[in-house]
């Protein structure tokens, strides 16, 4: 059992009151010491803050509350034959779920990644690693990302920040990805986090060209991934043109990276950018409307029903980070595995209740989209009524 870090300063406190600097406390909790380099130390403090503090969106939801399935009273299917299987980035998944990239690069990360990977293997779902920057800076940290011995079959996605593409050439990144046995690499886009971090990068120019180069030279599929502020349809088009193989919208409404950095800096009372970003439901629907590459719905996905809604909005799979990290904090691999099992079961029920025998059918399932999500979609000329009236692709008539 892992030591549970008490959620001492709960949500309301993170919202309403200044949080005192916690740097020394985090240093101890994450098993860090002052000789660690800044990247390594930051990794540990992100885990502690995300497990122990209120870091999710305050006012803004991911939008799943605005999305309702049209219940099918006559599903005409056998529950046992509902098939959750999909192929994503060349790998078969038993359920269209991903544990999103979380960590790597400091001692405790090895334990976390291995637990998440084992749970992913047990449930036949995909998993992302956290940013591999730390192992590029210090090769001795590579072991903290290595999970293939416990998860030989899963879809494993490596990870690098777009800012690191300036510093490390595509071949070096490709070596780091192959070193951990990943099937693909996610390039994370995290402008909000960088700006919220006093030590963050500030020069965002030339990023698209660098992503294009990585797509051409990495030898593995490249996933463009946000980290909680979402991707707009125009940006998705530019990324697709640059050659990305999938887009993970990681929209707003879940973990707020402005929030994480503000809490880390003892400025939890500064709220201006806490909720910044495109809500996940909106980002998913708009990107998936035009994209020819698979779209992953993530950011505030907190149940199998949310995952089903994200897929019905057009995604090929859905992912989450914070719930799985917290499950690990509460009960290690077993808790993560049972959460994944529960989400897959909810997904199956949602499919049965909408008469969908497979994930392709779920993607064309009828939806009622209302509220702020409907307003935002309308603003982009995407009419919510089209989700309620669309032709359903059903295995049976
Ligand atoms: C502790 C923690 C560390 C993270 N580190 C990374 C990272 O290194 N690379 C990345 O692409 N995303 C990272 N993320 C972002 C997640 O992959 C995800 O996009 C984001 O948290 C939104 O999903 P959620 O609301 O389910 O948490 C991290 C998330 C958490 C909670």
CA distance 125 to 121: 7
**Rounded average pLDDT per 10-residue block, the chain, 397 residues:** 40 35 39 65 92 96 98 97 98 98 96 98 98 96 98 98 95 97 98 92 95 96 98 98 98 97 91 97 98 98 98 98 98 98 98 98 98 98 96 63
Q: Is 47's C-beta closer than 6 angstroms to any atom of ligand 1? A: yes
**Per-residue model confidence (pLDDT) at position 153:** 97
Q: Is 57's C-beta closer than 6 angstroms to any atom of ligand 1? A: no
Q: Is 320's C-beta closer than 6 angstroms to any atom of ligand 1? A: yes
Could you tell me the domains of the chain?
A: 64-389 (3.20.20.70)
Q: How many CB atoms lie within 10 A of CB 392?
A: 15
Q: Is 105's C-beta closer than 6 angstroms to any atom of ligand 1? A: no
**Per-residue model confidence (pLDDT) at position 40:** 81
**Per-residue model confidence (pLDDT) at position 268:** 86
Tokens describing residue 51: 């497990």
Q: pTM of this prediction? A: 0.92
Q: By percentage, how much of the chain surpasses pLDDT 70?
A: 90
Q: Is 250's C-beta closer than 6 angstroms to any atom of ligand 1? A: yes
For the chain, state the CA radius of gyration.
20
Mind listing the pLDDT tens digit for each residue in 236-292?
Answer: 999 999 999 999 999 999 999 999 999 999 998 899 999 999 999 999 999 999 999
> What is the 127 CA–ligand 1 centroid distance (Å)?
12
> Measured from the CA of 100, which atom of ligand 1 is nearest?
17
Q: How many CB atoms lie within 10 A of CB 217?
A: 13
> What is the 149 CA–ligand 1 centroid distance (Å)?
23
Q: Cβ(368)–Cβ(43) under 8 Å?
A: no
**Per-residue model confidence (pLDDT) at position 14:** 38
Q: Cβ(151)–Cβ(124) under 8 Å?
A: no
Q: Is 354's C-beta closer than 6 angstroms to any atom of ligand 1? A: no
> What is the 75 CA–ligand 1 centroid distance (Å)?
37
């Amino acid at each position: 059992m892992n030591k549970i870090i008490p959620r001492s300063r709960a949500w309301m406190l993170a919202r309403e009151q200044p949080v005192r600097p916690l740097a020394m406390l985090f240093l101890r909790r994450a098993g860090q010491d002052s000789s660690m380099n800044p990247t390594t130390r930051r990794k540990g403090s992100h885990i502690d803050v995300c497990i122990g503090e209120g870091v999710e969106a305050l006012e803004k939801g991911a939008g799943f509350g605005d999305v309702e399935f049209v219940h099918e009273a006559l599903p005409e299917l056998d529950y046992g034959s509902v098939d959750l299987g999909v192929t994503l980035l060349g790998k078969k998944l038993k359920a269209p779920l991903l544990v999103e990239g979380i960590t790597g690069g400091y001692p405790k990360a090895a334990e976390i990644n291995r637990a998440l990977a084992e749970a992913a293997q047990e449930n036949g779902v995909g998993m992302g690693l956290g940013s591999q920057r730390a192992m590029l800076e210090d090769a001795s940290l590579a072991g903290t990302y290595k999970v293939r011995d416990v998860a030989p079959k899963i879809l494993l996605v490596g990870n690098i920040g777009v800012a690191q593409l300036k510093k490390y050439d595509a071949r070096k990144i490709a070596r780091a990805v192959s070193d951990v046995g990943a099937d693909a690499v996610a390039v994370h886009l995290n402008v909000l986090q960088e700006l919220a971090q006093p030590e963050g990068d500030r020069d965002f120019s030339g990023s698209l060209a660098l992503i294009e180069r990585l797509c051409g030279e990495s030898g593995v599929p490249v996933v463009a991934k946000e980290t909680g502020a979402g991707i707009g349809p125009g940006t998705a088009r530019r990324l697709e043109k640059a050659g990305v193989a999938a887009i993970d919208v990681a929209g707003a409404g879940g973990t707020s990276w402005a929030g994480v950095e503000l809490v880390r800096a003892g400025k939890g009372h500064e709220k201006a950018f806490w909720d910044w970003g495109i809500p996940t439901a909106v980002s998913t629907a708009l990107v998936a409307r035009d994209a020819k590459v698979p779209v992953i719905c993530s950011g505030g996905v907190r149940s199998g029903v949310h995952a089903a809604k994200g897929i019905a909005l057009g995604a090929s799979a859905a992912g989450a980070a914070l719930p799985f990290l917290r499950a690990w904090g509460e009960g290690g691999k077993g808790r993560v595995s049972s959460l994944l099992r529960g989400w897959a079961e909810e997904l199956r029920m949602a499919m049965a209740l909408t008469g969908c025998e497979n994930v392709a059918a779920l993607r064309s399932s009828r939806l009622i989209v209302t509220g702020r999500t409907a307003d935002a979609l309308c603003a982009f000329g995407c009419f919510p009524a089209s989700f309620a009236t669309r032709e359903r692709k059903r295995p049976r008539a």
